[in-house]
Structure 1
Amino acid sequence: MTIPSKALRVLIIVFLFTCQLVHAQVKLPRLISDGMVMQRDAEVRVWGWAAAGEKVTVHFNNKIYQAITDAAGKWFVTLPSMKAGGPYTMTIEASSTVVVKDILIGDVWICSGQSNMALPMERVKERYADVIAKAENPAIRNFFLSTQYEFKKLRDDVPSGSWEPATRVNVLKFGAAAYFFAKTIYEKYRVPIGLINASVGGSPADAWLSPEALKKFPEQLKEAERFKNDAVVDSILSTDRARSRAWYNYIRQYDAGYNGTKRWYDTTYTATDWPVMNIPGYWSEQGLNNLNGVMWYRKEIDIPASMARQPAKLLLGCIVDSDSVYINGVLVGTTGYRYPPRRYTVPAGLLKPGKNVIVIRVINTIGKGGFVEDKVYQLSNANAAVNLTGSWQYRVGAVADPLPPTTFIQYKPGGLFNAMIAPLLHFPIKGVIWYQGESNTGRANTYHAEFRTLIEDWRRHWGQGDFPFIYVQLANYMPISTSETGWAELRGAQLKTLSVPNTGMAVTVDIGEWNDLHPLNKEDVGKRLARAAQHVAYGEKDIVYSGPIYQSMKIVGDKIVLRFVNTGSGLVTKNDEPLKYIVIAGADKKFVPANAKIEGNTIVVWNPEIKKPVAVRYAFMDNPQGANLYNKEGLPASPFRTDQ
């Protein structure tokens, strides 16, 4: 078809005009958006994109700032240092106009690490119901980054995210530790607080290192280079998806609970021949071998008339790995992986007076499957509660080979820095709070080098000098034992990192949970981070900002005298009990329980059988639950070893 010349000219003009409009649109990074918090007492860069060679004018706080875009369309202006305040409005003009509203000037904190920093208030809402109900503070704002990875370049923006003020609804999405940190800091200084949460569950430290920093670690650098190849990434993703799909299809196809004349959750199915086992517990510890596949559980319970036909809450602790739960034949909830607490809502009308049947289908992919101990298992509402622990019927639905492990590409070296930290580097900050290390316990011997490098790397890229970097030392976890494996070693590496200038550490070895990687007490975590920040970031020199930290030792005859810093008003043991988890060794390095006596700000340690002691360790184990050395301000001592 031939287009008339006049019509062709019109099409060309429309096309060029459209292109001009598209290319002239002012674009801002997502951080620079409604509700943002900008760092006080610091020059602030405002940047974005427009057409090449275009003049951009920024109106802010009764002043005008101008820039010309470069050949790539990039531009920036620098705002002068400002005091805390707001709200303000910013207008950016070029061929188009963008207005950014409700801007506050305050303190901006990067909140990073793995799942314990990402874990939202929603996960701890039962524990902190009153705090959530009162969370109406527009001066505390949160910008949460979704998980992204990149290996080939440094990204200049994030694909999603917005600034949200603390409200009863919004706060459920705030990282819990970060929110308690911000709340404490705000209540102390009354300045707006902006939280930028760039955390990824399960992420190791090297995923947060820049390409330059990875050069110090040849193996990680090699891995990062490998993942620059899209074909490698695509192949891994495709293979993993195919394996997972085949595995789940297999257990679905051969699950006897789905393939008989009646499904095992059906109300008309009878289970008179099913054996019994206890919940909670793992089936490998109750006479069965580790089983990969499907296990079904069934229990008949009596519901009192006062509870019947009313909505209820079903709590099933934590289950390894995934579950689907039926009450009277109706699916009431499902969870796809092991860590979240099982909290299901039972709708009104489903429960009936007298006999009711709960059926749980559990899928275990590898290792120990079952129900985590020391959790709450009950069905309840305002009128009554039914305890669900104890004897349940069970039956194997399907058995399979272990599910092949998945490659978490976002955990590969450098991927998270490039995608989630690089876009933030132009944004001035007050400092960083960091909760990470669980994923490095398998190679704790290299953690100090990686973590120190990470701190130095981020400071170099931000170009703000040695800004405050406050981090959480790992909580106690796993069954109580005297083992000194990855968790103890990693806490030691974190303790050692206090030698890096302008750092602070929140000790949490007294608030973990042996059976949960994600302890619920995030309030004390946030408050202890805030205490450290008050000293390191806000210059509070007189505050007791940490528990006792081992400083040095001296051998005096057959005893060792330990000295500490951050002793506050004095060293104490909790409830004035003898010091726990203190051991001593001679030249053979065989550690045995020791006697210990607090003398002023020192501790004298000895064992009558060891005449020439050389080393002491305190709480240096994976889970020293009940470790009881504190200062009088109530802050716990960090575990330590003198034989570094």
Structure 2
Amino acid sequence: MFFKPKQLNLALLFFLSLTGTAFAQARLPKLIGDGMVLQRNAEVKIWGWAAPHEKVSVSFRNNKYKTVADEAGDWAIMLKDLPAGGPYTLKVEASNTITLNDILVGDVWVCSGQSNMELPMRRVRPLYGEEIANASNDNIRYFAVPQKYDFNTAREDLEAGQWQKTTPESVEGFSAVAYFFAKELHDKYKVPVGLINASLGGSPAEAWISEDALKAFPEHYQEAQRFKDGTLITRIEQQDNARRNAWYAQLNQKDKGHQGQQKWYVPHLNTSDWKTMQVPGYWADAALGQENGVVWFRKEVTLPASMAGKPADLNMGRIVDADSVFVNGQFVGTTGYQYPPRWYNVPAGVLKEGQNTIAIRIINESGKGGFVLDKPYQLTVGKQAIDLKGDWQYKLGAAMEPLGGQTFVRWKPTGLYNAMISPLLNYSIKGVIWYQGESNADTPEEYRTLFPALIRNWRAEWNQGEFPFLFVQLANYMEAKDKPSESGWAMLREAQQQALALPNTGMAVTIDLGEWNDIHPLRKKEVGQRLALAAEKVAYGDNVVHAGPTYTSMQKKGNKIILSFENTGSGLVAKGGGELKRFAIAGPDKQFTWAKAKIKGNKVTVWSDSISHPVAVRYAWSDNPEGANLYNKEGLPASPFRTDQEQAPQQGQL
């Protein structure tokens, strides 16, 4: 067929219009997909993109909703007052058809914060192996938000992601806190629970706040502006990578344990010139002293015939910083940084009757390297276990200057909000659970306003009113002090508690669930349960004791101070019996000393025979308030407090 020029142009335009429509087929955001959970009893938005002015229909639960995409191709419809239930099918029809299956209606919770929210079930397997094995529940669904940052644009969609059902296999990747929280709620209310996990280890609160809300914090706002420059990010990352690569290249070149024919991990090695130290421990405290670089460790272990040839589990506690482990010369595993537990599988056929050699190459970039105290170190075959604590031989492989820390661009202000929270804002939710604060513990005074600003920011951007926002107060951590002292972690806990002045908030106290030597304690089930108790009260309106004793006021009476509390439940108790611990008292000089304390009804009387005119009391005021034992009879611990704190902000001031 022959077209004249004018006819050709018209034909071309017609063709382009058809292909434009074809290439602009309706699509949905990653959150809206197979297996999703929609929020019950609320306005639920189903949204997406299509060609400009394209007609779109959505069919759900025997109802059909129609709309037209706007000039930009955006479209949305609202579903209202959906009762809990499912599974359902949702169909979107435009120039194409999208069918979504296995949709539930229930309660949707966003789970956010840093590593203690991110920490997956696989990391807590030693405590909850049975829970993992029995985790089969189609009514608990989980969506992991990709860990991305963006300093320039509040994104409309996620790069990837899909809803997962709960199975023994899938649950290992779920946030442990979030899973146990959801399980408690599902067991009680019998409605589906959807979990959207948007968390990132090490992230400070300012990374999770929108750019506009950061204007109230000029230092963070200015830093966010700096990192809009992609060339700056590239330069920083290139410099960091070049510096680290050069350090590791030199380290590997210098490491005597990896030079020549005889490697230091082989079973038969002349170790007559190796020194000995106790494991667990740090070589800075041994004869080697403070050295960074590579240190090799070896231990000979005698095994009975009953353990020979069988697969084994090697638990090497935690090691600072990185390690590679060999058993009888065979490599069995490596870990690249200090926080994960060292659980290694020894294959069948490696262990033998009699002498066996375990060799470990440890790389320490800075600070004290070695084996973290009070962790398990053992080799296990079935029910037989060999304790590996005690004398190990060691030798310096390579001495290095300390490696400077890297710039964690992903933690910079507003980046995580833009990439991980902004794409969620159209999705209707029941509320938020939050576990964060460790990365802001150096600036607790700022957190008093920063954390409430985050809560208000999210509520404003979600535009769902003052939805429940439940959070975890920091657990006990670091070595316990034998005298009353100041504490950044106690100050941060206080800042967290002050956020309760905001409406519809709840807090889980965890000063009894931590580990002095691990910023990632394993007891996540109790954390989830305490968050669920807060949800029962705040989100569901149940009349339950949802928190432990909370200090409200003090009264001086002679040489004593009488403390009053709320959330006393069925009464106050000293857990475990005996005397109350971790109370301190001070006179006009503000020098605190340990005090005696006694429960009288729902009050606590505090005194010290050495102080005749007391002015202030503190309780559990330390990084690790080990032994703090004021609880209510429902088994919930009292939140740490000080009567000499600055006046807590009122609700209108937060």
- Counterpart position of 1:555: 556
- Counterpart position of 1:619: 620
3-state SS of paired residue (1:306): helix
CA distance in 2, matches of 1:360, 1:226: 42
Give the Å deviation of 1:20: 2.5
CA distance in 1, matches of 2:18, 2:451: 49
- Counterpart position of 2:505: 503
Structure 2 length as normaliser, TM-score? 0.95
Matches within 5 A, 1:370-449: 370-382=370-382, 384-449=384-449
3-state SS of paired residue (1:203): coil
3-state SS of paired residue (2:624): coil
- Counterpart position of 1:513: 515
3-state SS of paired residue (1:575): coil
Contact 1:23 1:50 in 2 (8 A): no
Contact 2:21 2:51 in 1 (8 A): no
Contact 2:267 2:356 in 1 (8 A): no
CA distance in 2, matches of 1:88, 1:425: 23
3-state SS of paired residue (1:609): coil
CA distance in 2, matches of 1:476, 1:146: 30
Matches within 5 A, 1:172-251: 172-251=172-251
- Counterpart position of 2:451: 451
- Counterpart position of 1:263: 263
- C-alpha change, 1:585 and 1:81, in structure 2 (3 Å) is same
Aligned AA for 1:444? P
Give the Å deviation of 1:168: 0.8
Matches within 5 A, 1:212-361: 212-361=212-361
Give the Å deviation of 1:161: 1.1
3-state SS of paired residue (1:459): helix
- Counterpart position of 1:33: 33
Give the Å deviation of 1:349: 0.5
CA distance in 1, matches of 2:632, 2:287: 46
Aligned AA for 2:490? A
Question: % of aligned pairs identical?
Answer: 56
Give the Å deviation of 1:478: 0.4
- Counterpart position of 2:576: 575
Q: How many residues align?
A: 638
- Counterpart position of 2:363: 363
CA distance in 2, matches of 1:569, 1:637: 14
- Counterpart position of 1:92: 92
3-state SS of paired residue (1:105): strand
CA distance in 1, matches of 2:608, 2:485: 21
Aligned AA for 1:567? T
- C-alpha change, 1:262 and 1:573, in structure 2 (3 Å) is same
Contact 2:22 2:95 in 1 (8 A): no
| 1:235-281 deviations in Å (ceiling 9; x for gaps) | 11111111111111110111111113311112343222211111100
- Counterpart position of 1:45: 45
Unaligned segments of structure 1, at least 5 residues: none
3-state SS of paired residue (2:456): helix
- Counterpart position of 2:650: none
Aligned AA for 2:615? V
Aligned AA for 1:68? V
- C-alpha change, 1:297 and 1:483, in structure 2 (3 Å) is farther
Matches within 5 A, 1:466-477: 466-477=466-477
- Counterpart position of 2:494: 492
- Counterpart position of 2:546: 545
3-state SS of paired residue (2:127): coil
- C-alpha change, 1:268 and 1:13, in structure 2 (3 Å) is farther
3-state SS of paired residue (1:339): coil
The equivalent position to 2:525 in structure 1, one of 523, 536, 549, is 523
3-state SS of paired residue (2:492): helix
CA distance in 2, matches of 1:462, 1:236: 34
CA distance in 1, matches of 2:185, 2:319: 36
3-state SS of paired residue (1:612): coil
CA distance in 1, matches of 2:270, 2:143: 52
CA distance in 2, matches of 1:150, 1:537: 32
CA distance in 2, matches of 1:578, 1:140: 43
| 1:218-246 deviations in Å (ceiling 9; x for gaps) | 00000000001111111111111111111
- Greater shift, 239-248 or 531-540, is seen at 239-248
Give the Å deviation of 1:614: 1.1
- Greater shift, 379-388 or 323-332, is seen at 379-388
Give the Å deviation of 1:499: 1.1
CA distance in 1, matches of 2:541, 2:114: 28
- C-alpha change, 1:586 and 1:349, in structure 2 (3 Å) is same
Contact 2:574 2:630 in 1 (8 A): yes
Contact 1:483 1:622 in 2 (8 A): no
CA distance in 2, matches of 1:15, 1:555: 87
CA distance in 2, matches of 1:192, 1:365: 46
- Greater shift, 420-429 or 606-615, is seen at 606-615
Following superposition, which runs of at least 4 residues in structure 1 exceed 3 angstroms of deviation? 8-19
Structure 1 length as normaliser, TM-score? 0.97
Give the Å deviation of 1:75: 0.8
CA distance in 1, matches of 2:248, 2:323: 13
CA distance in 1, matches of 2:359, 2:635: 45
Give the Å deviation of 1:445: 1.7
Contact 2:312 2:379 in 1 (8 A): yes
Contact 1:24 1:96 in 2 (8 A): no
- C-alpha change, 1:11 and 1:363, in structure 2 (3 Å) is farther
- Counterpart position of 1:116: 116
- C-alpha change, 1:229 and 1:303, in structure 2 (3 Å) is same
CA distance in 2, matches of 1:348, 1:13: 69
Aligned AA for 2:557? V
CA distance in 1, matches of 2:102, 2:437: 36
3-state SS of paired residue (1:140): strand
CA distance in 2, matches of 1:623, 1:361: 32
Give the Å deviation of 1:17: 7.5
Give the Å deviation of 1:22: 5.1
- Counterpart position of 2:642: 641
- Greater shift, 516-525 or 66-75, is seen at 66-75
Give the Å deviation of 1:300: 1.0
- Counterpart position of 2:76: 76
Give the Å deviation of 1:21: 5.4
Give the Å deviation of 1:383: 5.2
Contact 1:433 1:471 in 2 (8 A): yes
Contact 1:307 1:383 in 2 (8 A): no
Give the Å deviation of 1:328: 1.1
Aligned AA for 1:212? D
- C-alpha change, 1:17 and 1:305, in structure 2 (3 Å) is farther
Unaligned segments of structure 2, at least 5 residues: 646-654
Matches within 5 A, 1:83-162: 83-162=83-162
CA distance in 2, matches of 1:634, 1:383: 34
Contact 2:631 2:638 in 1 (8 A): yes
Aligned AA for 1:437? G
CA distance in 2, matches of 1:330, 1:56: 61
3-state SS of paired residue (1:158): coil
- Counterpart position of 1:164: 164
| 1:334-358 deviations in Å (ceiling 9; x for gaps) | 0011111000000001111111111
3-state SS of paired residue (1:128): helix
CA distance in 2, matches of 1:80, 1:534: 24
Aligned AA for 1:554? Q
CA distance in 1, matches of 2:122, 2:254: 36
Contact 2:256 2:398 in 1 (8 A): yes
